[in-house]
A and B are shown apart, each in its own frame.
Chain A
Amino acid sequence: MRFVDEFRDSDKAHALAAKIAALCEPGREYKLMEVCGGHTHTIYKHGLEDYLPEQLTLVHGPGCPVCVIPMGRMDDAMALAAQPDVIMTSFGDMMRVPGSNGSFFDAKARGTDIRMVYSPLDSLKIARSNPDKRVVFMAIGFETTAPSTAMTILRAAAENLDNFSVFCNHVTIIPAIKAILDSPDLRLDGFIGPGHVSTVIGCRPYEFIARDYGKPVVVAGFEPLDILQSIYMLMQQLAEGRSEVENQYARVVPWDGNMVALRAIGETMELRPYFEWRGLGFISHSALSVREQYAKFDAERLFSVPGVRVADPKACQCGEVLKGVLKPWECKVFGTACTPETPIGTCMVSPEGACAAYYNYGRLTRTRVKEATRS
């Protein structure tokens, strides 16, 4: 298939892998963080780690929108969905996220009207065809999905729809990266930058990472060769003692971002003073809410929600996993009490979550893989 197979070519992968191995200094351990959950998914789905030398470890970062939604927000969403005449709409990957009283799926089974949509605009369709209902869209995601929520709000305003609102849980990536850089637990050598987020915000916002923290950043695409190439670019920077922001995904990511998308976000949303992230705690200026001007589309203003902070189950170590401090399998309950079927934490829910990716695709040590492929 064109535009896909070219980026999965195993001959090119072998060549890149050899170049990466040649750049490794003997005896030095390398830790690179892929910030974005989409990258984590690609890495496991294609078995990319098989190409990496033993001394190079990929650390999975916080860029999984579903994973960072805290339990309390999930409970708020459930409370919204349970209000009379409400139809809650949500992306499919939120359906399984556990709140303190089960997931959307469980609520749906109890009779709550929760519908899966592929785009927030589908929620508008539902709102138009159900004028006697109040449709609430569960908006999640980084700057990647925020523009589509923003455009939906603008469209609803243009149509003067009065039965549509957004439960806004959009978060921003830079404060999360900064929280990780400031965390004492982790020593990282560089970052594989989030490609989709960067199509919106561009590459400039990462410059502080290279400048102030001395870590190289390479914004990468989502095919396996993209990631392998970005690892090679990071290793080159490390070998040459450079720390810069480079753009491997130039075919999609403009250096200055997408002004139209940024304007739509700016028009409809503003930064919250602080927001709770699962595992990372409260981070200031790290999330978006709907602006006053669009208050009639803001579910938080229209409905009362409990707004209570709910602690994760103690056994859940999603926070450590999201920060990259623990590998998924190092979590105490990984794969035994916490599985994709009965997830305790969010990292096991989303296909972009490190735990789900590792459980579904990677539950083999590299030694096991070598044995299996030999036989």
Chain B
Amino acid sequence: MTGNQAAGHPAGWVAEALRAHDEQDPAGRTERPGSPQPAPGTVREEMVLDRIDRARRARPRVKEERITMSHGAGGKATQTLIEAVFLNAFRNPLLEPLEDAARVHVNGAKVALTTDSYVVSPLFFPGGDIGDLAVNGTVNDLAVSGAVPLYLSAGFILEEGFPVESLIRITASMQAAAQRAGVQVVTGDTKVVERGKADGCYINTAGIGLIEYAGPLGIAQARPGDAILVSGPIGDHGVTIMLARGELDIEADIVSDTAPVNGLVASLLSKVAGVRAMRDATRGGVATILNEIATAARAGIMVIEDQIPVRPEVRGASELLGIDPMYVACEGRVVVVVDGAEAEQALAALRAHPQGEQAAIIGKVTADPPGIVQLKTAFGGTRIVDLLVGDPLPRIC
């Protein structure tokens, strides 16, 4: 098979992908599917899986000509975009770890810096609004980096015609969230665009915090034997937003979990020495975080479906809609990787905090297979939990 044979497909990347595929593993190409095989099935399958592993490690490239909604979904397409475009343009050692916040040294002080934009629709939803989301999201990115969040900026992009009353409501909830998290909004920016060029109100916040925690933190620190915890039930925020849009005619008694986690995180770090990494499970949900950990640490992860806390309302709505709560966004939940020997201590520390009462140990880091997240299903089977390409629920935060 040569690239020419696929030339009938005007999408040029197909031909290119096939060429890359052929170059990648000439040795593995001697066998033709469907023809008699010298090797037994499982061995052949193993060879194919190895080939796929190599393909997945290949340098990411954006194949689409234009940005699609998938590029904003937090899954594979987002990751490819970040690595192929942004990382490629800005590459430097501080950016490269692609953690929730950059860790920079300023005059001997360790400072965490992060930014995030918020385009959630609807702007107001049960349990919160775009305002507290914008504060909590940035506070949480700092907190899980081991920093004490201090100062935030707030940039507003407003659509012509947006009610001032709504803006006042949003800023009031931002201020309340900032007070709860112990941070201040100290600088800002306002832009207005013509009607139809934005959807009401978009907010960008950036934040800095001081890193006082001495230990190394980062998903690349995870190693076999470590335990994985979540700080509470997952998927509340995503499902709340989806139901709040009212397109589905499903009602459930459920609110967003949007909250600052800096108190919870500080309490955990003060009680447990073996914390290796923390992430707030926003877009893409817990499954995406687990995949990022497995990739960064070149380790496997095994999670137990039965042990993952999910509210019945979230499970019910997800069942109906055919989505997996593992991929649904949370806005106040932390995934923690901790030394296996300290798993119970970490669980106790999380549960001692009001925001972590329903924390659970959901799995462990394994040596093999590297880069792959496996799930032991409640049914008793085993399967992979991969990154999603896109997201069934756009504009969740």
Contacts and interface: CB of A to CB of B under 8 A. Distances in A.
Given A100-B9, A331-B33, A365-B42, A375 B366 contact: yes
A13 B8 contact: no
Nearest to A46: B379
B380 A333 contact: no
Contacts of B248: 118
B384 A344 contact: no
A10 B1 contact: no
Contact of B379 (A10, A314, A338, A344): A10
A101 B11 contact: yes
Interface in A77-125: 92, 96, 98, 100-102, 105-106, 108-110, 118, 122
Nearest to B302: A372
A224 interface: yes
A47 B303 CA distance: 14
A109 B17 contact: no
A361 B369 contact: no
Given A47-B377, A317-B33, A351-B322, A335 B55 contact: yes
B386 interface: yes
A250 interface: no
A96 B390 contact: yes
Nearest to B45: A365
A372 B386 contact: no
B52 A363 contact: yes
Interface string B359-382: 000000011110010111111111
B386 A360 contact: yes
Contacts of B312: 1
Contacts of B49: 329, 335, 363-365, 368
B221 interface: no
A106 B8 contact: no
A337 interface: yes
Contacts of B374: 364, 369, 372
Nearest to B79: A341
Contacts of B11: 98, 100-102
B379 A224 contact: yes
A315 B380 contact: no
Contacts of A363: 49, 52, 372, 384, 386
B46 A48 contact: no
B369 A335 contact: no
A83 B302 CA distance: 49
A327 B41 CA distance: 11
A132 to B, nearest CB: 17
B8 A340 contact: no
A371 B14 CA distance: 36
A337 B68 contact: no
Contacts of A109: 64, 66-68
Contact of B380 (A50, A336, A338): A50
Contacts of B276: none
A8 B378 contact: yes
A330 interface: yes
Contacts of B55: 335-336, 339
A329 B51 CA distance: 11
Contacts of A360: 384, 386
A255 interface: no
Contacts of A102: 11, 64-65
A334 interface: yes
B382 A13 contact: no
Interface residues of A, number: 71
A369 B382 contact: yes
B6 A361 contact: no
A108 B66 CA distance: 10
A110 B64 CA distance: 11
A8 B64 contact: no
A367 interface: yes
Contacts of B48: 329-330, 334-335
Contacts of B65: 102, 106
A204 interface: no
B85 interface: no
A195 B243 CA distance: 29
A330 B33 contact: yes
B126 interface: no
Contacts of A271: none
A51 B380 contact: yes
Given A314-B1, A367-B42, A1 B383 contact: no
Interface string B1-21: 100011011110110011011
A47 B382 CA distance: 5
Contacts of B316: 1
Contacts of A48: 379, 381
Contacts of A161: none
A236 to B, nearest CB: 22
Contact of A320 (B10, B34, B315): B34
A163 B366 CA distance: 57
Contact of B319 (A1, A10, A101, A342): A1
Looking at B14, B315, B386, the one whose CB has the most chain A CB atoms below 10 A away is B14
A100 B7 CA distance: 11
B80 interface: yes
Contacts of B33: 317, 320, 326, 330-332
A158 interface: no
Interface stretch (B69-77, B149-157, B328-336): B69-77
A314 B15 CA distance: 10
A49 interface: yes
B24 interface: yes
A1 B46 CA distance: 37
Nearest to B324: A45
A362 B70 contact: no
Nearest to A317: B33
B379 A330 contact: no
Nearest to B51: A336
17 contacts: A1-B319, A5-B378, A9-B379, A49-B381, A50-B382, A100-B11, A314-B8, A315-B1, A315-B18, A317-B33, A320-B34, A331-B33, A332-B33, A335-B55, A351-B322, A361-B384, A363-B384
7 closest A-B pairs by beta carbon, nearest first, are A47-B381, A10-B380, A335-B52, A337-B17, A109-B66, A46-B379, A361-B383
Given A315-B6, A337-B20, 7 more contacts: A109-B67, A317-B33, A330-B33, A332-B32, A333-B18, A337-B21, A344-B17
